[in-house]
Amino acid sequence: MTTLSDSDRAALREEVKREVKEEFRREDRTRRIRSFFVSLAVYALFVGLPLVMVAVMLTRAGMMQMPLLTGMLYHPVAPTRLVQPLVGESADIAWKEALATAKFDQETDQMTISMDENRLTTIVRQGLVNQASSLPFKAEDAQIALDSDRAELFFNTERAGEKVPVRLVFLPSVDRHGELVVDVSDVTIGGASVPAAMRSPMANLLNSFLRNEFMSQMPAGFILRRFEVKPEGMSIVFTAPTK
């Protein structure tokens, strides 16, 4: 049996110490590298995921063109049905005819103006053209489609030379001050439905536009009372001024 000398044992101890220290260093480097990549993955998740979600939403809305994804994600919304404006009539003529056929109830002092989809489309389409300078986007080929307690405004806007369809589903009503207000239940741009928390700008634009178009044509002194929306037409009810 070979007996190690004191110098050999000392050298062996030093070698073991070096190997242990080196192992600790390797484990520390491994932990640092693992920690770095975990932190990088977490950062990419919190920063990259929202960006991906925004990119997907913009692609679905037709506001961004992305190879492959556009064909997979972009499915543009279509109107409930096609509605044409009245042939050869301007918005002024459409209003005059609507007022000429208005019904007046002498018992309640209420006047009811009724308009079908075609007349509303005539008024709204020309109104969007007239107010184009005050709108933040183009609005072409506008139309109004009606259903029970539901109205749909559909038009095309433009992005990078391409048409992007926009659909707003709303219900007009009257507040206690006799002012027109709209409850927007859905906004779809391109093929993307806008989240409820982000509909306010579009709802405010629509509310302002309809007030300009409808209230400016009303007889002086009449008070707006209510809207009735049905598939066959929209009725606007006013109360005559007190004598």
The tokens describing 186, both together, are 């859905």
SS (H, E, C) 30-95: HHHHHHHHHHHHHHHHHHHHHHHHHHHHHHHCCCCCCCCHHHHHCCCCCCCCCCCCCCCCCHHHHH
Q: Which of 1-10, 29-38, 106-115, 211-220 has the lowest mean pLDDT?
A: 1-10
Q: Are 159 and 58 a contacting pair, CB within 8 Å?
A: no
| Structure confidence by residue, pLDDT tens digits, 108-145 | 888 899 999 999 999 999 988 888 888 888 889 999 99
233 forms beta bridges with 230
- Pairing relationship of beta strands 233-239 and 162-174 according to DSSP bridges: unpaired
User: What is the C-alpha to C-alpha distance for residues 45 and 68, in angstroms, rounded to an integer?
Assistant: 23
pLDDT band at 240 (very low <50, low <70, confident <90, very high): confident
How many CB atoms within 10 Å of residue 18?
A: 10
Residues 186-197: pLDDT tens digits?
998 887 888 888
* C-beta of residue 165 within 8 angstroms of C-beta of residue 154: yes
pLDDT-wise least confident of 34-38, 57-61, 142-146, 216-220: 57-61
Is pTM beyond 0.85? Reply is no
Instruction: Residue 128: count other Cβ atoms within 10 Å of its Cβ.
Output: 19
Q: How far apart are CA 22 and CA 148, in angstroms?
A: 79
